[in-house]
């Protein structure tokens, strides 16, 4: 439930205009909400005539995702967000081949136990099965729309790359896309169906004796496999990435970790920073404790 005191400057706005343009609601979110003006349920096309109290009640949306108990590594939680540190080798959302024991199953179970209700897990971001790190879940449609449309968000990753990267900091701006039904993405011009993609690369530490480089990556676009494709195209594939690099027997997954999430708080509009450490498997490869 969200409560608003409508400011005088929005007189003669339709309620739908006020909620979408000023408060960041999406059309879909409003379709699944009941709106009350001064205690009376009203239509969204009703105009605001004077100072009013507005209450938006989101209709609980169910899901057919089975609740399955899971040891979620919760990093942060408030009334709007649930942020989880996902282990590697966990699928985020059910697929045709994988319908249970996904992170979504665990989140649905957690919501059931903490609220007593089955709720749809609204993932703001998703990670490949073998990528570890921060997953952000919105607890309601309003928060989901705010993150997608209004909030200033920055996402950072850490990766261990093959080779020694000489530049301390640079951008990769190669468009990428998929050819046919191939799961693998590649450099593909926009004219041929590729999508613009931009990644910032910053060297954290070079390990000359191991021929490896630890880098921080910031995403400015969110294309499928973007970081993996971009680093491979530059000649520095992520260690353990058998799809875009080469298989390494002692490294069972690509060493990519979502470690920092910066976002605008939905209520205070202050900037918040969530960070987590490198996972143990990445620390062991580079000898960091």
Number of neighbouring beta carbons within 10 Å of residue 27: 11
Using DSSP bridges, classify how beta strands 154-162 and 81-86 pair: parallel, antiparallel or unpaired: unpaired
Q: What's CA 167's distance to the chain center, in Å? A: 28
Catalytic residue among 21, 45, 71, 128: 128
Question: What is each CA distance from 226 to 103, 121, 240, in whole angstroms?
Answer: 22, 24, 16
Q: Are 73 and 84 in contact (CB under 8 A)?
A: yes
Question: Measured between alpha carbons, how far is 246 from 230 in angstroms, rounded to an integer?
Answer: 15
Ramachandran class of 12: left when φ > 0, alpha when ψ lies in -120 to 50, beta otherwise: left
Q: Which of 243, 240, 264 lies closest to 254 in space, CA to CA? A: 240
Question: Measured between alpha carbons, how far is 20 from 43 in angstroms, rounded to an integer?
Answer: 14
Q: What's CA 40's distance to the chain center, in Å? A: 36
Cite the DSSP H helix spans in 2-65: 15-17, 27-31
Is 128 considered catalytic here?
A: yes
**Residues annotated catalytic, as ranges:** 128
């Amino acid at each position: 439930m969200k409560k608003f005191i409508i400011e005088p400057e929005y007189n003669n706005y339709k309620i739908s205009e006020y909620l979408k343009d000023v408060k960041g609601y999406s059309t879909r979110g409003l379709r699944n909400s009941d709106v009350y003006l001064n205690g009376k349920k009203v239509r969204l096309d009703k105009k605001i005539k004077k100072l009013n109290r507005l209450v938006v009640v989101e209709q609980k949306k169910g899901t057919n995702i089975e609740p399955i108990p899971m040891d979620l590594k919760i990093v942060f939680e408030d009334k709007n967000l649930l942020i989880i540190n996902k282990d590697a080798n966990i699928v985020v959302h059910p697929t045709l081949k994988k319908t249970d024991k996904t992170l979504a199953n665990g989140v649905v179970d957690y919501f059931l136990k903490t609220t007593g209700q089955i709720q749809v897990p609204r993932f703001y971001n998703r990670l490949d099965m073998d990528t570890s790190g921060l997953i952000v879940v919105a607890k309601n449609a309003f928060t989901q729309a705010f993150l997608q449309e209004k909030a200033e968000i920055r996402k950072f990753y850490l990766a261990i790359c093959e080779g020694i990267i000489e530049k301390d900091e640079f951008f990769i701006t190669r468009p990428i896309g998929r050819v046919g039904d191939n799961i693998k993405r590649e450099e593909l011009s926009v004219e041929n169906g590729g999508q613009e993609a931009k990644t910032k690369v910053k060297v954290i530490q070079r390990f000359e004796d191991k021929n490896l480089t630890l880098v921080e990556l910031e995403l400015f676009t969110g294309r499928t496999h973007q970081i993996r494709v971009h680093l491979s195209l530059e000649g520095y594939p992520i260690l353990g990435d058998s799809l875009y690099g080469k298989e390494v027997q002692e490294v069972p997954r690509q060493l990519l970790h979502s470690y920092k999430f910066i976002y605008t708080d939905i209520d205070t509009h202050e900037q918040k920073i969530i960070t987590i450490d490198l996972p143990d498997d990445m620390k062991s490869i580079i000898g960091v404790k």
